[in-house]
Amino acid sequence: MRITFPHMGNSYIAISSLLKELGLDVVVPPPCSKRTLELGIRYSPEFVCLPFKINLGNYLEAMDQGAEAILMAGGWGPCRFGYYAQVERDILQDLGREFNMVIIEAPDSKLPSLLNQVRQMGIKTSWFQVWSAIRLAWEKLKAVDRLEALQHYWLPRVADKSRCESMVDAGLKSVDGCGELREMAALVDKVDRDLSGLGRDVDNNNPIRIGLAGEIYTLLEPFANYYLERQLGRMGVEVVRDVNLTQWVNDHLFGGVLPSAPSLHTTLPLATPYLQYWVGGHGRETVASTVGYARQKLDGVIQVAPLTCMPEIVAQSVLEKVQEEEGIPVMTMYFDEHAGEVGIITRLEAFLDMIRWRKMKTGDTDAKNLSGSRRRLCQH
Ligand code: SF4
């Protein structure tokens, strides 16, 4: 059985490793592209959220490469995610595609139930092999998170942005191809050393720091957010993102107790004065992250979500109060297939310009930094 799964940023590195180590024949869908989205749009309901459309495109492209089964997460709650897998299955069946759909229900802290679901896929490996596969995939997740964090830090600070991006891409490729648990950390350390050897951007020694919050898929899949993190890095901004893959696994499979991984469980209470209830998706986490970023004295927050995402619409309505009371500027960006790169860059420039003037007014930046930042803006 040749199995595929939807893309979500660099998660494919760990997911494909896990499935291969469990003895499955894996078809990784081609990276998300305009074609992926076009295929998804053609066969999806018009008003469904963007991640659904991209997922559907992923499946169709993977099936063209021989995939016979789809692994998809199930879900429940007040938003549409709980219906994704079933609706996607019906659409593909209506298109005459023949395949199996394996729906892994959200295990929320019940690791044994997840392992049982995985074994029901017909995997004939021992528990020891399952454990080794999980450990390797976990190390890959950690490596991916570290590489992304390195990019957040170095991209605004180095002069040769393209070189920085290619070094991170090469690092991700090495992690993808690495089968040795012990080599993983060394691969990332090497990328770290190489990045710190790049020449600095002398006009940007004190970059603006922006926190990203919002719906997890749109945050982690660069194609869905029009490469927002790299756009910001190239504009001289250091990105801070507390939603990542190890945090998600820690919070949803281990109840947030793994000491070696971040957890939003600790920051979630920060949302309570503004939003007491779970509203589905990452709505409450978005509010908590924004309050957390304000208290870490970041310069601003961008909320990222697909158009019509209900939990993020609820969060957005609350963020107005958070902005006022916590004293941090927040901008919301919704993405769908009609968004355009030029419009996105214009909004980012306006937001950053406002933050720079705000910083200058409060004496939080020196004249050299401001003029350097403004020069960069003029070059766009
Ligand atoms: S969280 Fe938002 S984007 Fe995700 S399924 Fe729910 S409504 Fe759609």
CATH label of the domain that carries residue 111: 3.40.50
Residue of minimum CA distance from atom 2 in ligand 1: 309
Q: Give the distance (Å) from ligand 1 centre to CA of residue 35.
A: 22
Q: Are residues 17 and 164 in the same domain?
A: no
Same structural domain, 310 and 226 = yes
> Ligand 1 atom 5: the closest Cα is on which residue?
81
Is residue 23 within 8 A of residue 124, CB to CB? The reply is yes
Question: Which are the contacts of 212, defined by CB distance < 8 A and separation ≥ 6?
Answer: 219, 228, 229, 239, 240, 241, 243, 301, 302, 304
Residue partners of 344: CB distance under 8 A and separation at least 6: 226, 228, 231, 333
Distance 36 CA to ligand 1 centre (A): 19
> What's the distance, CA 288 to chain centroid?
17
- Please state the length of the chain: 380
Q: How far is Cα 157 from Cα 244, in angstroms, rounded to an integer? A: 22
Residues 104 and 177 in one domain: no
Tally of domains in the chain:
3
pLDDT tens sequence for the chain (380 residues): 899 999 999 999 999 999 999 899 999 999 999 999 999 999 999 989 999 999 999 999 999 999 999 998 877 777 888 888 999 999 999 999 999 988 887 656 566 666 666 666 667 778 888 889 999 999 999 999 999 999 999 999 999 999 999 999 999 999 999 999 989 999 999 999 999 999 999 989 899 999 999 999 999 999 999 999 999 999 999 999 999 999 988 887 777 778 778 888 888 999 999 999 989 889 999 999 999 999 999 999 999 999 999 999 999 999 999 999 999 999 999 999 888 889 999 999 999 999 999 998 887 764 444 444 444 433 43
CA distance 130 to 169: 29
| Shared domain check, 182 and 36 | no
Half-sphere exposure of residue 180, counting CA atoms within 13 Å on the CB side?
Answer: 6
**Nearest alpha-carbon partner for 112 in 140, 125, 131, 136:** 131
The number of angstroms, rounded, from the C-alpha of 157 to the middle of its chain's C-alpha atoms is 22
- Name the residue of 310, 313, 334 whose CB sits within 8 Å of the most ligand 1 atoms, as the mutation to test its pocket: 310
What pLDDT does 371 receive?
41
Question: What confidence score (pLDDT) does residue 378 get?
Answer: 37
CB count, 10 Å around CB of 80? 19
| Closest residue by CA, ligand 1 atom 7 | 309
Q: Does residue 325 fall inside a structural domain?
A: yes
Q: DSSP letter string over 279-332?
A: -STTHHHHHHHHHHHHHTT-SEEEEEEETT-HHHHHHHHHHHHHHHHHT--EEE
Record the tokens describing residue 288, joined without a space: 């908590």
For residues 62 and 111, membership in a common domain is answered with yes
Ligand 1 center to residue 115 CA distance, Å?
Answer: 26
Provide the 3-class DSSP secondary structure of residue 4: strand
> Probe ligand 1: pick from 44, 47, 48, 49, max atoms within 8 Å of CB?
49
Residue 86 structure tokens: 């079933």
Please give the pLDDT value at position 271. Answer: 97
Element (H, E) at 2: strand 2-4
Q: Considering the domain boundaries, does residue 57 fall inside one?
A: yes
CA of 316 relative to ligand 1 center, distance in Å: 14
Task: Establish if 62 belongs to a structural domain.
Answer: yes
Q: Which class for 308: exposed (0-12), middle (13-18), buried (19 or more C-beta within 10 A)?
A: middle
Residues 171, 253 within the same domain:
no
- pLDDT for the residue 253: 77
Give backbone dihedrals phi and psi of 164, rounded to 5 degrees, phi first: -60, -50
Atom of ligand 1 nearest to the CA of 281: 1
Asked whether residue 163 falls in the same domain as residue 28, the answer is: no
In which domain, by residue range, is 360 found?
207-379
CATH of the domain at 219: 3.40.50.11900
What is the predicted pLDDT for the residue at 114?
Answer: 67
Q: Specify if 131 maps to a domain.
A: no
Ligand 1 atom closest to the CA of 215, numbered from 1: 1
113: in domain = yes
Inside any domain, residue 130: no
Nearest CA to ligand 1 atom 4: 81
Question: What pLDDT score was predicted for residue 266?
Answer: 85
Neighbours of 318 (CB within 10 A): 18
> Are 173 and 234 in a shared domain?
no
> What's the rounded Cα separation, in Å, for the pair 343 and 353?
15
Q: Do 278 and 175 share a domain, yes or no? A: no
Q: Is 266 in the same domain as 371?
A: yes
Q: Is 134 contained in some domain?
A: no
Given this model, what pLDDT does residue 254 score? 78
**Residues 240, 191 share a domain:** no
Strand partners, 192: none
Question: pLDDT value at position 365?
Answer: 62
> What does the angle CA 80 – CA 85 – CA 87 come to, to the nearest 5 degrees?
75
22 and 148 together in one domain: no
Task: Pick from 48, 56, 81 the residue to mutate for probing ligand 1's pocket: most ligand atoms within 8 Å of its CB.
Answer: 81
297 in a domain, yes or no? yes
Contact 209, 237 (CB under 8 A): yes
What residues line ligand 1, using a CB cutoff of 6 Å? 49, 51, 79-81, 215, 281, 306, 309-311
